[in-house]
Amino acid sequence: MNEPLLECVERGPRTARGTVIWLHGLGADGHDFEPIVDELGLPDLRFVFPHAPVMPVTINGGLPMRAWFDIVGLALDAPQDDAGIRASAAAVTRLIDAETSRGVPSERIVLAGFSQGGAVALHTALREPRRLAGVIGLSTFLPLADLLSAEKSEANAGLPILLAHGDADNVIPIRMAEVSRERLEREGYAVEWHRYPIAHTVSFDEVRDIARWLAARFAD
């Protein structure tokens, strides 16, 4: 049986130069980053903001909320929800399928995400067998990093990656992002890295850098 697509908020033209599939953070929903579309000023792109499923999250006392996977802890050595990460990656892959069915080549699709959503975006993009346009990870980390060497996709070996993080992030410490960047670089990826004097959020300067990076991905 075919799995249903995640419910999504969509912004932008149906016939677009490309698509950005943008995953929200823990406890938010697809509306969370909807306002960024106007701030980016890229009217020829379509943005798809899926809603994560609702599930109990251990780090929040088992409280049910929208989440891409369960979180036990945020230390570098904390156990990770392998099954949950892969289930969300499969759901994002189905969204890629839906976009290609609408006539958007995979090479014109960017995956993006904030915090927990950024972790899923990175995991999915680096294993996707079809070439993508790029991946954005904001205030996030690379999940299941020890498995990347064995699982990474040859098609996306040269995938453009944008990572951005706040110096004062008290949810996902910047060291987690730096370790993730270092691991990606060891695996041969070229990472564009930005750090900002902010907490676990997105700044005006960051939006400007994202807009420039996205415009470069769809320049031709």
Considering the candidates 81, 139, 169, 180, report the single residue annotated as catalytic: 169
Confidence (pLDDT) at 58? 96
Q: Compute the residue count for the chain.
A: 220
Whether 115 sits among the annotated catalytic residues: the reply is yes
Q: Does pLDDT of 2 surpass 80?
A: no
Q: State the chain's mean pLDDT as an integer.
A: 96
Candidate list 51, 194, 200, 209, residue with the active-site label: 200
For residue 164, what are the contacts with CB-CB under 8 A and spacing of at least 6? 136, 137, 138, 139, 193, 194, 195, 196, 206, 209, 210
- Rg of the chain's alpha carbons, rounded to an integer? 16
Active site residue 169: yes
User: How many Cβ atoms are within 10 Å of 13's Cβ, its own excluded?
Assistant: 10
Q: Residues 51, 29: contact at Cβ < 8 Å?
A: yes
CATH of 8-217, one of 1.10.645.10, 3.30.1330.10, 3.40.50.1820, 3.10.20.30: 3.40.50.1820
Q: What does the pLDDT average to over 100-109?
A: 96
**Would residue 200 show up in a list of annotated catalytic residues for this protein?**
yes
pLDDT of residue 15: 86
Marked catalytic residue, from 115, 139, 165, 180 = 115
pTM above 0.95, yes or no: yes
pLDDT in tens, 146-182: 999 999 999 999 999 999 999 999 999 999 999 999 9
The letter for the amino acid at 213 is W
Q: 128: Cβ–Cβ under 8 A, 6 or more apart, which residues?
A: 93, 96, 106, 153, 155, 156
**Of the candidates 120, 185, 180, the residue with the CA atom closest to the CA atom of residue 159:** 185
Q: pLDDT (tens digit, 9 = 90+) per residue, 46-93?
A: 999 999 999 999 999 999 999 999 999 887 788 999 999 999 999 999
